[in-house]
Structure 1
Amino acid sequence: MTAPDRTVDEVLRYGARVLADARCATGDARPLLADILEVDRGRLILLGRDEVSEENFKRFEEYLARRCAREPVAKIIGRRVFWGRYFEVSPEVLDPRPETEILIATALEEPAARLLDLGTGSGIIALTLLAEWSQARGVASDVSEAALAVAQTNAEKSGVEDRLDLVASDWWSGICGTFDLIVSNPPYIALGEMEALDPEVRDHDPHIALTDGADGLTAYREIAKGADAHLSSGGRLIVEIGPTQGDAVSKMFAEAGLKDIAIMQDFDERDRIVFGRKG
C-alpha cells in the first residue's frame, strides 16, 4: 500500500482482505485500527478520508499478523466490551464470552446486597453486578494472583473498588460468611475436549480457567458442596456451564439441597446457566 492511498477507508479495506485470506472475520479490522488511532470504532466512518501515518500503519500490520495467527482481538488490544463496559484482559485471564452476559441477566432478575464471585478471573461478573447495584457489596476470589491483579485494575477503573474484596482462594478455602448471591464461570472443558477448541481459546486463554484436567465437572462438585454453608436463606447460586452439563450440574445442586433448580439456554438454544436457591 502506497502512502497516498493510506486513508482510514483504504487501510480498513486492506485489513479486511488480509483477514479474509487468513479466514478470520473481516470485521476485526475495525477494532484493531480503532485501538491504534485511539478512537471509538464507531467513529472510523467519520474519519474515512483521514490519512493513517506510516507508524500507525506498521502497527496495524503487526496487529493483523497477530490476529491472523489466531490471537483474539481482545488479547491484542488488551480489553473487551462486556455488558456495555470496557474491561482489561490479559494472557492471565479468560477472554469474556458474550454467553456470560446471560448469567448477568439472570442474576439481575432479583436484587442482592452481598454477592460472591468464585473464580473471578478479570472480575467482569462481580464488577458488572456491583456497577448495576450501586448499594451492593461483593467478594471475588481466584486461585491466580495474576488474575486478581487484573481484577483489581478493572475494579479501580469501574469505580467499585471500595465495595469489592478480592481474595486469593481455591474455591471455598478462603471464603467466610454468607451471601445473597453466589456466581461462577468455572473451568468446565473436559481434558479430552481441549484439543478441539478454537486456537483463539486453546492457545491464548489460561488453561487453568478452561479445564479441570479431568471431566469438566470438578469445579461444580466443589461449588455445590459449599453452597449451603455460604448462601443466605433464599440466596441464589448461578453458574455458567458447558452445553452438555445441564443435567449433571442440576443433579449436584439438588443433592446439595438447593431448590427451584432451572437451566437457562444461550443465544444458540444450548444449555448455558444453572440456577438454584437455598430454601
Structure 2
Amino acid sequence: MPKTEGAATLAAVLAEARRRLAAGDMDDPALEARMIVEHFTGTARKDAIATPERSVSAGEIANIDDAVNRRLAGEPVHRIFGWREFYGLRLKLSPDTLEPRPDTETLVDAVLPFVRETVRREGHCRVLDLGTGTGAIGLAIAAQVPEVIVTATDISAGSLATATGNAARLGLAARFIPRVSDWFSAVDGKFHAIVSNPPYIEAGAIAGLQLEVRLHDPVRALDGGADGLDAYRAIAAGAPEHLDENAIIAVEVGEGQGRDVALIFSEAGFRMASAHRDLAGTERALVFGG
C-alpha cells in the first residue's frame, strides 16, 4: 500500500491494491482490489468515481495490506471477509463450511416452484437440507417462503454451529432445525422435499483443484469418493423412507455427472422430473420424483 506521512487517497490505495494483485497473477485483479478496498473502507464503487481523493486512514490501509497479502497467498476474498452472499442472504463462513457459490442458486431456483405449490396445497412445506454447510440452500428457501420448515443436517458439528448462527442472524432460527447426522442416520419423519449439494469431486482429483479450493474448503465437503458419486448413492438409498407422498429430491451435480447421477436415482426407483442449467450453461441441478 502507498506509504505516506498522513492518510492516502482512495484512488491511490485502490490503484496499489490492483497493481499488487495483477502482479500476483489474479484472474480479475481490478474486481478483487475493488472488493477488498470497499470492504475495509466502507465505501462503494460510486465513491471511487465521485470522491477519489477521499482519505483512507492508516488503520484501513493496514487492513487492506493484510487482506492483499492473504489473497496473494491463495486465500479466497470471501474467506478473508468471513462471509459470502447467497441468494441475497449474507452468510458467515467458517473453516468447517464450503463457501457457497452462485452456481448453487440454480438448485434453489429449481425447487422453489414445488415448495410454493406445496404450501398453496397444504399450508406448509417440510424441507430436509442434507449436508447443509453454511445453511445456504435451506435458509434461502426458508427466506423466500415463510411457511417452510427446514431440517438441516451435517456430519460436522462445526458446520451446523455456523449454519445455526446464520439462521439466527437472518431471523430464521424458529424454522431451522439443525441436526448432526451422517446423511439420514439421525433423521426422523417425512419431508415434502429433500435438497442437497453433496461432495462430488473425485477423490483423486482433489489435489489438482485450484489453490483457493484445495486449501480453504474442507476436504470432507469436496470428496465424493473414487468416482465422485458416493454421496448420491447414499442419498438415493436412504431417501425413500423419508419422503412424503408426491415429494421431490433435488441435488446439485458436478459438470458431466448428470447422466450418472440420474442412473443412480433411477435404479433406486426415482424418475427424473427436471434438469436445470446454471448461468454458464452447465447442467447443475437435477430434480427427481417418486
Q: Unmatched 5+ residue regions in structure 1? A: none
Give the structure 2 partner of residue 13 of structure 1.
Answer: 15
Give the structure 2 partner of residue 209 of structure 1.
Answer: 221
Which runs of structure 2 are paired with 1:1-279 in the superposition (5 Å)? 1-3=2-4, 6-24=8-26, 25-26=28-29, 27-39=31-43, 45-110=49-114, 111=116, 112=118, 113-278=125-290
CA distance in 1, matches of 2:241, 2:152: 17
Mean Cα deviation higher: 2-11 or 220-229: 2-11
CA distance in 2, matches of 1:93, 1:5: 37
Mean Cα deviation higher: 249-258 or 95-104: 249-258
Aligned residue type for 2:82:
G
* CA contact 1:80–1:87 (8 Å) conserved in 2: yes
Give the % identical residues.
37
Tell me the SS of whatever aligns to 1:138: strand
Aligned residue type for 2:184:
W
Aligned residue type for 1:62:
D
**Residues 68 and 2 (structure 1 numbering): CA distance in 2 closer, same or farther, change over 3 Å?**
same
CA distance in 2, matches of 1:274, 1:32: 35
> Deviations 1:24-56 (Å, cap 9, x if unpaired)?
121111222222224556655455321111121
Cα RMSD for the two superposed structures: 1.6
Tell me the SS of whatever aligns to 1:188: coil
Mean Cα deviation higher: 67-76 or 250-259: 250-259
TM-score, normalised to structure 1, is 0.95
1:272 Cα deviation from its structure 2 partner: 1.3
The runs of 4+ residues in structure 1 deviating greater than 3 Å are 38-47
**Residues 40 and 235 (structure 1 numbering): CA distance in 2 closer, same or farther, change over 3 Å?**
farther
**Residues 126 and 42 (structure 1 numbering): CA distance in 2 closer, same or farther, change over 3 Å?**
farther
**Residues 42 and 215 (structure 1 numbering): CA distance in 2 closer, same or farther, change over 3 Å?**
farther
1:266 Cα deviation from its structure 2 partner: 2.0
TM-score, normalised to structure 2, is 0.91
Aligned residues: 278
> Deviations 1:159-188 (Å, cap 9, x if unpaired)?
100011000000000111111111000000
Tell me the SS of whatever aligns to 1:147: helix
* CA contact 2:36–2:67 (8 Å) conserved in 1: yes
> Deviations 1:123-158 (Å, cap 9, x if unpaired)?
011001000001111100000001011001100111
Tell me the SS of whatever aligns to 2:95: coil
Aligned residue type for 1:151:
A
CA distance in 2, matches of 1:149, 1:5: 40
> Deviations 1:184-229 (Å, cap 9, x if unpaired)?
0000000111122111101100000011342211100000012211
